Amino acid sequence: MSLSRAENPCFLLFLFVFQAVFILILYRGGPSHVFRGFLDTPQVLDYSKPHDVYTNLSLFTRAPNEEAKPYCSAQSPIFVGPLTITFRVLPSEKMIIRKNPFVQAGGTYRPPHCLPRYRSAILVAYRNQKKYLQHLLYYIHPFLQRQQLSYTIYLIQQVGNGTFNRAKLLNVGVREALKDEDWDCLLLHDVDLVPENDYNLYVCDEYYPKHMASAMDKFQYTLPYKSFFGGVSALTPEHYMKMNGFPNTYWGSGGENDDIATRIQLAGMKIVRTPPHLGRFRVMDYDKRMETQEPWRRPASRHNTRKTWKDDGMNSLEFKLLSRTKHPLYTNITVDIGYVPPFS
């Protein structure tokens, strides 16, 4: 009786070897797939060898034929990975403008050399933090250009001396930014944070709100607590509206973040995060006395989010737009956000 194919030892051995090789390929391909091939180049994660954030940016020059511009490459050709960041010298506005010749009035940029695949609005809640702002602009403009994004930077400025309300300012920013353009992604960005790796893409996750600042130096590059959603996050306009935006009723910074994390859940979504080795951020804190630099702690919840989220947010947003001007490096939206409880 002759052996059938499946019982033939040689054939079994062949099958086994074939499978082993296949599994090996999958295994090797697996992790780098997760990071879209980033791990093929180990320098991407070598933070001991950072590069200047302006490295090779001058390679992006105006396409000779505006009509026949190609689409931007899926991965930027000038990525370097870890970036050199220092807050010792304050960059002047003039110098930032000179180093970013393709940024148009209002802090708007379109890649000169290709058609962007992605449009992101960067929204920064702001008040009286000029030095932080200058450091941020010096780094964030070239950072976004490295990623071949089409973007605008919005500064939403609260007037007066009342308690700062980051969440409400961001609601205002979203409403105003969407009047300009149908943005693919809304990046809600603290003024005192700078990303450390240009592979940390400022684009949204298709399905869920994405927390980008998953590893800040001041928290030893870990999350301060599990539901943390502060610093920098990326939501599509659909995500944002689905959760009725952020709460308007949190005064002082910190408390709103837990409410936001809860809203995401209540709206049937979950938080995804940039992996910590890419989601690294530097925090500026050379002047610890600056306001809004209250310590980050998990605040006691003062609101019952489950009850309030459907009535407190984008659908109840009221504010007075005082001015909207185009600074060479950002769009300045100045608002009176109404009743401000006194400092407690």
Ligand X SMILES: *[C@@H]1O[C@H](CO)[C@@H](O)[C@H](O)[C@H]1NC(C)=O
Contacts with ligand X by CB under 6 A lie at 51, 55-56, 80, 155, 157, 160-161, 323, 325, 327, 332, 334
Q: Rounded CA gap, 104 and 315, in Å?
A: 32
**Judged by CB, which is closer to ligand X: 113, or 310?**
113
Tokens of 228: 């943390």
Q: Phi first, then psi: what are they for 119, rounded to 5°?
A: -120, 120
Residues 6+ positions from 155 with CB-CB distance below 8 Å: 124, 126, 133, 327, 330, 331, 332, 333
| Rounded least distance, CB 77 to ligand X, Å | 7
Instruction: For the CB of residue 51, give the shortest distance to ligand X in the complex, in Å.
Output: 5
| Nearer Cβ to ligand X (228/251) | 251
Distance CA 106, CA 150 (A): 13
Helix axes 255-266, 166-180, angle to 10 degrees: 60
Minimum distance, C-beta of residue 209 to ligand X, in the bound complex (Å)? 28
Q: How far is the CB of 257 from ligand X (least distance, A)?
A: 24
CB nearer ligand X, residue 147 or residue 257? 147
Measure the CA–CA gap between 268 and 258, rounded to whole angstroms. 16
The residue among 92 and 325 lying less far from ligand X, judged by its C-beta, is 325
The CB-of-129 to ligand X minimum distance in angstroms stands at 9
The burial class, CB within 10 Å (0-12 / 13-18 / 19+), for 258 is buried
Q: Which is nearer to ligand X, 51 or 113 (CB)?
A: 51
